[in-house]
Amino acid sequence: MVTAAGDLSGEGGPGFLSPTGVEIAFVLIGLVVLGSALLVVTTRQIVHAALWLVVTLGGLAAEYLLLTAEFIAWVQVLIYVGAVVVLLLFGLMLTRAPIGRSTELDAPHRWPAVLVAVGAAATLLTVVVDAFHATYLDLDKTDDGSARATGESLFRAWVLPFEVLSVLLLAALIGAIILSRTRGQDPEKQAPEKQHPENRTARPAKPPAAGGR
């Protein structure tokens, strides 16, 4: 029994049977992320789904901080929580989406989606379990995930892919602007039947002609 415990703990540092405080916090936050992610895809109110998505992405940022990947953590907060979710909420408010439960948003292909999710979860679980057999890495003695190390790697070894991605994002932005422009005539010059019902003006009825005609 002692020998088995010694094999699981490993020789390079703490293992599965001797978790540290950081590892316990990582597991607890992971459970919160998992629960909030399930609520995102199961709730019938899209506003609640967006708010649970904030909890999910914030929990992932906390996980990155525990892994000393501070740069990825702040990118997670600034881009996903601070931009994507806020854009989603503004889109809901500007499009006047119905408030409350909606059964029309339920996709008919729920079971294929469940199978894909289970397959992805099984793959990730295999990778996580296999990671216990790797060499133990002391995160307190390395700065591989710091902003300085990430910046040096990005702008020295990966500067060409970085510039290619920037051009790709610029092209996507220009394409979105072109697609969002109104095609054809000016809305003010369109026929009255093609205009919005709120912009139509009621025409007064013609008075009956003299003599009943």
**pLDDT, tens digit (0-9, with 9 covering 90-100), for 157-200:** 888 888 898 899 899 889 888 887 755 545 555 555 555 555 55
pLDDT tens profile 77-101: 988 888 888 888 787 777 765 666 6
Question: Is residue 22 in a domain?
Answer: yes
CA atoms within 13 A on the CB side of 176: 6
In which band, very low, low, confident or very high, does the pLDDT at 154 lie, cut at 50, 70 and 90? confident
CA atoms within 13 A on the CB side of 20: 12
Same domain assignment for residues 71 and 149: no
What b-and-e string marks burial along 11-27, b requiring 16 or more CB atoms within 10 Å of the CB? Answer: eeeebeeeeeeeeeebe
Range(s) of the domain holding residue 164: 143-178
Same domain assignment for residues 14 and 93: yes
**Is the whole model's pTM more than 0.75, yes or no?**
no
Same domain assignment for residues 70 and 149: no
CA atoms within 13 A on the CB side of 51: 6
Question: Is residue 135 in a domain?
Answer: no
Q: How many domains does the chain have?
A: 2
Question: Is residue 38 in a domain?
Answer: yes
CATH number at residue 14: 1.20.120.1200
**Pair of tokens at residue 15:** 């293992």
Question: Is residue 84 in a domain?
Answer: yes
C-alpha to C-alpha distance for 74 and 61, rounded to whole angstroms:
7
User: 100 and 45 in contact (C-beta within 8 Å)?
Assistant: yes
Question: Is residue 136 in a domain?
Answer: no
Question: Is residue 62 in a domain?
Answer: yes
Non-local (6+) Cβ contacts of 47 within 8 A are 89, 92, 99
Q: Which of 73, 100, 127 is the last residue of a domain?
A: 100
Question: Is residue 128 in a domain?
Answer: no
- Count Cβ atoms within 10 A of the Cβ of residue 151 and give its class: 0-12 exposed, 13-18 middle, 19 or more buried: exposed
Counts for the chain of helices (H) and strands (E), in that order:
8, 0
Question: Is residue 185 in a domain?
Answer: no
Same domain assignment for residues 82 and 19: yes
